[in-house]
Amino acid sequence: MKIARFSRIGFILAAAGSAVGLGNIWKFPYITGEYGGGAFVLVYLITVALIGFSIMIAEMFIGYKGRKDTVTSFEELAPTKKHLWKYAGFQSVAGLLIMTFYSVVIGWILNYIVTSLSHLPASVKEAETTFTTMLHSGFWTQFFYHSVAFVIVTYIISRGIKGGIEKLNDYLMPSLIIILTGMFLYALSLDSFGKAFSFMFAPDWSKLNSEAFVTAVGHAFFTLSLGMGAIMTYAASMPKESNIVHSALWVVFLDTAIALVAGLMLFTFLYQYGSGPDKGPGLVFISLPAAFYEMGALGNFFAVIFFIALAFAGLTSAVSLVEPMVQYMIDRFRLSRIKAALSMGLFFYIIGIFVILSGLDGTKEYLTWGGKNLFDWIDFLTAAVMLPLGGLVMSIFVGYVVPKSEAEATLKPYLKSYFEIWYFSLRYIAPIALFIVILNLIGIM
Ligand code: TRP
């Protein structure tokens, strides 16, 4: 069978498409708002540079050398104890779990595209009512759009790496970048831009507690799509003789740039037309639509293209959350791609319905434990526990288990004298930081 591989630029776009997602445009601005801006952003940026980038290279390396699904790649690369190391590949299940709520949120966004065409809320109060009504009693709306997201994602994945995933990213990623750049330039012309800029870049250390630190590290993993084998699975289809380091740099750069641009733009709008930055998960669904309303006619147009951009970002990430398990089913169980895509799709689709129910009046009582509903639990377990743990396993695997000579042979030509720095970060900095995060979590829980 002929193996379909990405083109070089196709790989970079797909991996960047995976990284740039709801995490950048929805989550990053609201957690930055919650944890007080500058200091949080700084911790996040340092984590991305010091740990994220090293693990990105490690994850690409495992996929690129293993050339298979995550489980098989770990098994192939482990010099000894292959039967144990293969279990490291099962961290891909985290992707399906993330997808159970990711798909629901994409659904909200699709709904907002449609409603923003004709109507924007005239006040924050109205925006809040609209959003909470959808959350607490809009079962059919959420169910309908969650189903649409399920159909699109499953269809794209069933078309394969080249005809599905690469094509999707070839169209959506440039469109996303154009929309955000256009809106950013407009934000740049507004008075409040300076205020947004100092909110994001002037650190207020008093707001930085250990919870903010853990959240920043967890988010660095989430936003770079690290720790569960999404990047690994894509890297298995990199063209031969690829420059891993160059690709990793591009992905990290695009992901960080888009998060910062989105944050600056949203905070500018919120200062200029709305209620200021700290609004929690409702930021883009509550404060932002109300701010768009204040802009007048331009606001409607901005609202629609903004939610389209957000949907694009979400969809290109969604396919990367599901693809690792699909690849696993194809490689290990010899399922056809269509059957694999459908079965993994149904998994997140069905659990996703319970995620919707966990926010709904009348059913949420049955789906809430210890103050967190199913949605929050899955978010917490994946982003805060499974991804850092997955990152820890990968750094140990490449830093200690795989012979150094193998990493050197593949990466030294590109990393040159930086190789030792990367290797040091992988062996010491990344595992220690991740270990602290995990310990902290146990304390926080
Ligand atoms: N990075 C995406 C975002 O920022 C989400 C995502 C896609 C992801 N694939 C992943 C997160 C793999 C962790 C692991 O929204």
Q: What is the share, in percent, of the chain residues with pLDDT greater than 90?
A: 79
Residue 278: the pLDDT is: 65
Residues shown for the chain: 445
Ligand 1 close to Cβ of residue 70 (< 6 A): no
Alpha helices by DSSP H, 48-166: 53-66, 70-77, 82-85, 93-118, 124-137, 139-158, 160
Q: What is the pTM of this model?
A: 0.94
**Is 3 inside a domain boundary?**
no
Say how many domains are in the chain.
1
Nearest CA to ligand 1 atom 6: 225
Residue 279: the pLDDT is: 65
The number of beta carbons lying within 10 Å of the beta carbon of residue 276 is: 13
**Is 371 inside a domain boundary?**
yes
Q: Ligand 1 pocket test: which of 223, 310, 348 has the largest number of ligand atoms within 8 Å of its C-beta?
A: 223
Q: What is the torsional sign of CA 306, 312, 318, 320?
A: negative
Backbone dihedral angles phi then psi of residue 276, each to the nearest 5 degrees: 90, 175
**Is 2 inside a domain boundary?**
no
85/93 Cα distance (integer angstroms): 16
What CATH number is associated with residue 312? Answer: 1.10.4160
Ligand 1 close to Cβ of residue 62 (< 6 A): no
> 131-139: which pairs have CB atoms within 8 A and are 24 or more residues apart?
131/282, 131/285, 131/286, 134/108, 135/359, 135/360, 136/359, 136/360, 136/361, 137/360, 137/361, 139/356, 139/357, 139/360
Task: State the closest ligand 1 atom to the C-alpha of 26, by its place in the atom list counted from 1.
Answer: 15
**Is 1 inside a domain boundary?**
no
The 10s digit of each residue's pLDDT in 201-231 is: 988 888 788 888 888 888 898 999 999 999 9
Region of poorest pLDDT, from 52-66, 72-86, 254-268, 428-442: 428-442
The secondary structure of residue 4, as a DSSP letter, is P
Q: Check pLDDT > 80 for residue 314.
A: yes
**Is 419 inside a domain boundary?**
yes
Segment 50-73 shows an average pLDDT of: 95
Q: What is the share, in percent, of the chain residues with pLDDT greater than 70?
A: 98
Domain that holds residue 364: 8-442
